[in-house]
A and B are shown apart, each in its own frame.
Chain A
Amino acid sequence: METFIEIKPGRKPFQRIYLGIMLWFVGKAIQAAARVDNEVKKEFKGMPANYTFSLGAFPNGPYMIVGKDDKEKVRYLGSNISKHHVDLEITLKSMKNLFVLFTFRESTPIANSRDRMIVNGDLPQACAAVRILDIVQVYLLPKPLAKLAIKRYPRWSLKRHTVDRLMVLIRTITGI
């Protein structure tokens, strides 16, 4: 007889909603940055055709998935991990770990060094995905918060900090 694991909704609805919104933003912002930012463009270019990657929490999410389509266009593919083939999974071991990460109490490198993440997929691509996430965080977050999230706050040109950031934010919200 087959046994079914009953998936219970998380007991922390606030965390789940907060993370869902954050992941939606990150996913949309990756799609936007891939149109605006040259470095993000380059990172995606280095990935194989139709490459997809996800970020989320084990075992029941939430998740976000982004990937390249047939025409090399980067798209936010939503939050339903069972609907997509994912080449690279970056998964926090629990929703709490993801919450700590997204409330900037622990940076991505520290979370990784404390063994809170599982990376499943090719390493060079994983490195590229982490660099993309870093850049997107710099676009989305005010400097003091971004500094908590990444190792080194980058020295960007004034245009990248202002015009490009505005473009990324507009495209993130409007989805175009």
Chain B
Amino acid sequence: MSPPVIELHLTVNGESRTFLTQINRSLFDVLRAEGYVDVKNGCLNGDCGSCAVLLNGRPVLGCLVMAPHCEGGEVVTAAGLGRPGDLHPLQEAFLDTGAVQCGFCTPGMLIVAKHLIDTNPDPSEEEIAAALAGNLCRCTGYVKIIDGVKEAARRMRASKARSKARGRRRS
């Protein structure tokens, strides 16, 4: 008997979706099969971090999480962080600092960095390096990726301060 097929209900990048999947599939398998090609396969072993997505706000490795476990969950992939013309500050800063070379590791880096900045808006270089310890990059040597995360965090803090000041002026 081959593993049975179930319906899987997920919100992916803000959109409610129902997928059909065999119960032995990983979240990565489902997302790739459905065309979320920004979720990358670097190893399918939990070693490289390139399949990272946010599941209910947590950065997880899509290749190690069982699909049925995610039922009812909210998934954000790197493409869900922003869109062309309206990029997320992390995506923008990665472009500006040259943090992207071949780009294969970039989606996973962005997801883990997003969780870091959400929980720690002003991370030090050491904290950024520690957060990215599970994400491998074969191109950049990491320096520019760390610069990119730092720059994004700075821009996000500045933009938050600006909107706070505007709010104060209005009231």
B partners with A: no
